[in-house]
Amino acid sequence: MSHRLNTLVQEARYAVFESPERLVSLFDSLKPKQKISVAMTSVMGRGIYTDGHPHDWLVGRRGKSAKYGTETITLIPADDPTRKFSVHNAFRLWKRKDSDGDLFVTASHGDMGLSLKSINGIPTK
């Protein structure tokens, strides 16, 4: 298989997005320090965590805004849990409502939105 074809196959493998209902139910079930696998992409470039492939994260603190009707979860890299992100550089999952009132989950890195491809819980031993 040529390198280009192999690259296209790998990208297509992660091109399937999760259903909003499944992401919302998984978001609600996440507990602090739980290990999860999240795949997300960015239109601004391909960083180490935004390359579209799943990366392991630990669930951090939760936040809630009554004013805007949003809930957030901060993500901590599982490969380096002592790494601290500033407020403007943190990876977060957001649960919010769209204009029709339906709940959905998005991702962000600081103030930049990311395309959230999948979230999978990793069972603990």
Compute the average pLDDT of residues 18-38. Answer: 88
Spacing of C-alpha 25 from chain mean position:
14
Domain span at 36: 17-121
Number of domains in the chain: 1
In a domain, 56, yes or no: yes
For residue 3, what pLDDT is reported? 62
Under 8 Å between Cβ of 111 and 91: no
Residue 5 lies in a domain: no
Q: Give the pLDDT confidence of 51-109 residue by residue, as tens digits.
A: 778 889 999 999 999 999 999 999 998 888 777 666 667 899 999 998 888 998 988 88
**Residue 15: pLDDT band by 50, 70, 90 thresholds?**
very low
Q: What is residue 114's three-state secondary structure?
A: strand
User: Please, which pLDDT band fits residue 46 given cuts at 50, 70 and 90?
Assistant: low
Would you say residue 3 lies in a domain?
Answer: no
Cβ atoms of 76 and 58 closer than 8 Å: yes
Q: What's the number of CA atoms in the CB half-sphere (13 Å) around residue 13?
A: 9
Q: CA-CA distance, 99 to 45, in Å (whole number)?
A: 28
Higher pLDDT, 43 or 28: 28
Q: Is residue 22 part of a domain?
A: yes
Residue pair 56/78 in contact (Cβ under 8 Å)? The answer is yes
pLDDT confidence band for 1 (50 / 70 / 90): low
Coil, helix or strand at residue 12: helix
> What pLDDT, on the 0 to 100 scale, is given for residue 98?
86
Inside any domain, residue 4:
no
